[in-house]
Structure 1
Amino acid sequence: MTDTLIPEDSTTQDGAPLAPLPAEPVPDIGYGQVFADFYDRIFPRDAGAERTARTLADWHPGGPALELGVGTGRIAVPLARLAGPVTGVDSSPEMLDRLRAALDATAAPITPVHGDIRTYADAERYGLVYCVCATLSMILDADGQRAAVARAADRLAPGGTFVVETHNPAFVLDLHEGRRRTSYFAPYPEPDTGLQSYSTLLPEQSLWHVSHIWHEPGRTRIGSELSRLTTPDEVDAYAAAAGLVPVSRHADWAGTPFDPEHSALYVTRYARRADTPEADDGRR
């Protein structure tokens, strides 16, 4: 169904109601159309999700939180239980449908919003804004990524915290061992269950294409995704341009020190320039 906007003056000169105006469409890359049905199988609501939520709660200075790319609520639901209300923005109607189903089951204080993280605006100021699970890298150009970080900074309250988690390009390149294409299999704890991935580098555009086959007893699912290999220095530059400064960087949500060459991910915490806490030594 198309979203609609009702203007404040919603009648004609003769008092008849005006028809609703169509809202601007939300650009969507179609990720949810492909992955929504089995996203929670690939990224389960497990101890890892709880650890991520606990770390975000520890870094949260208070007030509401905003997730850019909320998906099915894997992180937002436990964070809302720990730290209070979360607004979750996503461009995928399919992912937001799964989030609403989760809210029906948990009654967590989360507000789902269909929107574009590069342009999202509201009247709220958030103590915590976060963009995790490589959502930032799903934006395939530097200008779009810069816009998303600037938008996050705009939404922060004084003393607020912004957190980004995404892939470390050096690790991805090392995974390919000098080849343009490679494949790998990740077994999951359940019997006969795992994720088979076919990975292709597109270095001319700094892009990374991965096709996945999800295996479970009696069923397989297939999906492909495209992301931009985004370096920590790039994200730091986006943040600096938006008036943010880095506070800490880790390799995971347990606080493991980040190794620029070998860590698969990086988790970076930023603060508003005028409200910067003392940078830590890598420990939570």
Structure 2
Amino acid sequence: MFSLTGRGEVMCSTSAGDGTSFVPMAREDQRVMDFLREHSTILLTLFTILFPVVVGLGGTWLGSHIQAKGGLAQAKAAKEAAETAAAATLQAVREQSDRTAAASHAAAVRDRRTAAIADLLRAVRELVRALDRLYIHPDTGSMNGLYEAFVHARGPVELCAPTTLIPATERLAATTRNLSDLARDRSEAHRARARLVTLQHELPDLTAMMGVTEALRAFRVAACAEAFDTMTLHDAAIEALRQFPSITSDEAAAILLDCWQEELRPLRDRLREEHQEAMNDFIEQARAILGVND
């Protein structure tokens, strides 16, 4: 409890047991109380004036803080959006680069395949034409080079072309080799037989020419059938050829050796037909692979 003494001091009374004691308040506290009582109106006025200002400043600071945080959030979002856009652009560039590289690779492969296929076709045709000429004129030294070119041209096709073209390539190569083997084995005899026709003037008459032709035919039939009289007919064929003084021993030997094999014309026609079928099949498949079919 508070009370005022005669000297103007404020006393604070406290109860202890059954008695009451008084404790003087500090003068500084008293002065504060007096100051507050004397200036209460002014303080209230200042509070009334300053409170809205403080509240306003606090609101402004808080708004600025919130706005700043919002700006940071916007900046962060903008940065993330820019990074996402950059990543997407980089990915698009990479994909476009990959597509361009793939297209370039596909074009290069197609060009290599086209060149390899064209080279093989050219080598085969040049060789086959040379083989046909071999039945008319002897080799002038070009056959080996043409055959090697054909063999070498096959390699790039087997390396560059799809595996689906390999069977057609092998068939084309096999039929080409068959024509080559036939020409190398029998073109000399064919040329010698053709020369007999040009030497008919060396025989007394056409009947003698027919006799030579029949003697060679009979020997061929017997030789292919392995008949018991093969050697007798062989000797008869030799005597028939001796009627041509201009026939050399090499030509006569080639004609007689050829008689041990089947007739050339049907065999050659069959091999040529097989080769043409293989060529057509190869070209058709190659056009499909290169995408140039009509």
Instruction: Give the TM-score normalised by the residue count of structure 1.
Output: 0.18
In proportion to residue count, which structure has more strand? 1
Structure showing greater radius of gyration is 2
